Structure 1
């Protein structure tokens, strides 16, 4: 008997993409899937689009849960969805991305035969119209806490498949954090666990103007907040240094002040060496 896989789709204002995402889950070659879709208070009729495919979902999946409610944010929506999950494994995918047909089958097979907490894969980069632009495939196939905190990882969030037990062990997501995946991966790997990667294209990652990843300054500030939980780790000074360097670059793009840019770079360099000497004593 196939182990059950829970697929979670949190949706917010993706009326033009959500049906493509759901259809990509319907088209998985793996059969034992339950689908959980939560519309996080969309203002663009996304939920009405989802309802169009409800009968097909109820026929296809072992279980189908779908509802809308007021906006609470992505991390709160994911935590809510996790409580609905009954599967051994969990896949989380944004409502503007798509899965390729063999994704679930290949990843379940891998997790059934490898004692890791999760597995990822490569992505095709697609544009707003769904056209493939390029592929992103990593040469590295396993990532540790050290890789993740130093941003030496390539773990496309849309390709993830995790063990439900490990998600619950770390109590899900911090609802005050917007870089929810990075936060979770650090928590999951901090005790010498690892996240593996299969170098095959499993998903289409859609790039468009509303992607949060375009807001680089907010993203790096959130990362700086997250690593406060690891400020006594020997890699903390280097991790903070690298994040501060990215913040400095983002600020320079905004205010174009070269003198401020140089001052921030020098200050960051001195802070790194002071912290490093303090932790390494």
Structure 2
């Protein structure tokens, strides 16, 4: 049973984030939620991260391991934790002051996940964009389940914008297809409880050279990796729903999700090819089926652009789609140009 003031475990994994880990830990220590434990696992850092972490001895549970990657390190942190709820906070991200007090009232047995908005900042902590994702306040999991069945996903923040009831992470089994910790848990959460969405900014998400490097190279191999993880999560979800939710309908995994078809189209563009008419029509059809309003129009226009643009321009469009920060850079350049 979860008590009235449940223990919340904040789990931080760190690899070579000496510049950020101290500020991250302090942002948690300064919270005024009392029933809190902080677990920090250093994934074999080669910089001064471990020395930074040791400064908080007595205030945190800390462990240093050999380098094994984020997924295994996160599960090590989970095994060290005792919380009724768990929060995986990236070592370069931050909690805003009072964030956990605002969340405390939602730490209930019927709630499987709490998600909130994040404010993007640069390496020096300066604001660099609007908070994301755009969430509407809700405690209803039904629309999220419908979105999963239709599109294969629902709108959710990055890892640092989610708090989970502990059992969501228990008995997950093998995740050989995965790189991060919350790929299938975020999908499972609506099936096993209420997902609370908060339309408030409660954390900061840092964008800097180290994590942007993941978006810097556009390759067809990378597109295939995205597809494999997307489909792998859904197959895993289907298995978990059958095991844990006796009354839920089976998750049918399809091959015509708009996300998958988009990645296949971009993969062709990256390889110097042009999506054919049949592929483009099927892609637009999936977009029309899964979306509405401005998003439907924007994605349809993107599909058409990949079909009609010269390859060099189509590649640039694909790069912006994969890494939205590029569009911010483009807008900044245009703004400077027109202000001269």
**TM bin (shorter chain):** 0.7 to 0.9
Match of residue 95 from structure 2: 99
Detail structure 1 runs of 4+ shifted over 4 Å in the superposition.
231-235, 266-269
CA 1:50 to 1:145, structure 2 compared with 1: closer, same or farther past 3 Å? same
Larger Rg over CA atoms: 2
User: Is the 1:146–1:235 contact (alpha carbons within 8 Å) kept by the matching residues of 2?
Assistant: no
CA 1:140 to 1:119, structure 2 compared with 1: closer, same or farther past 3 Å? same
Matched, 1:228 2:228: no
Matched, 1:197 2:213: no
Match of residue 275 from structure 1: none
Match of residue 136 from structure 2: 139
Q: Distance in 2 between matches of 1:173 and 1:158?
A: 23
Q: Cα offset for 1:99?
A: 0.5
Partner residue of 1:42 out of 36, 40, 45 = 45
Matched, 1:109 2:88: no
User: Is the 2:13–2:40 contact (alpha carbons within 8 Å) kept by the matching residues of 1?
Assistant: yes
Which segment drifts farther, 152-161 or 213-222?
A: 213-222
By relative contact order (CA 8 Å, sep 6+), the higher-ranking structure is 1
> Which structure shows the higher strand fraction?
1
Give TM-score scaled by structure 2 length. 0.67
Q: Cα offset for 1:172?
A: 7.1
Matched, 1:262 2:276: yes
User: Is the 2:7–2:35 contact (alpha carbons within 8 Å) kept by the matching residues of 1?
Assistant: yes
Matched, 1:129 2:124: yes
Match of residue 15 from structure 2: 12
Q: Cα offset for 1:167?
A: 2.2
Give TM-score scaled by structure 1 length. 0.79
Map 1:232-247 to 2 at 5 A: 233=250, 236-237=253-254, 240-247=256-263
Which segment drifts farther, 197-206 or 159-168?
A: 159-168
User: Is the 1:120–1:197 contact (alpha carbons within 8 Å) kept by the matching residues of 2?
Assistant: yes
Match of residue 28 from structure 2: 25
SS at match of 1:90: strand
CA 1:31 to 1:234, structure 2 compared with 1: closer, same or farther past 3 Å? closer
SS at match of 2:64: strand
CA 1:222 to 1:123, structure 2 compared with 1: closer, same or farther past 3 Å? same
CA 1:172 to 1:264, structure 2 compared with 1: closer, same or farther past 3 Å? farther
SS at match of 1:25: helix
User: Is the 1:145–1:190 contact (alpha carbons within 8 Å) kept by the matching residues of 2?
Assistant: yes
User: Is the 2:147–2:154 contact (alpha carbons within 8 Å) kept by the matching residues of 1?
Assistant: yes
User: Is the 1:41–1:68 contact (alpha carbons within 8 Å) kept by the matching residues of 2?
Assistant: yes
Match of residue 159 from structure 1: 161
SS at match of 1:236: coil
SS at match of 2:257: helix
Q: Cα offset for 1:152?
A: 3.2
CA 1:46 to 1:116, structure 2 compared with 1: closer, same or farther past 3 Å? same
Q: Distance in 1 between matches of 2:80 and 2:281?
A: 47
Give me the CA root mean square deviation: 3.1
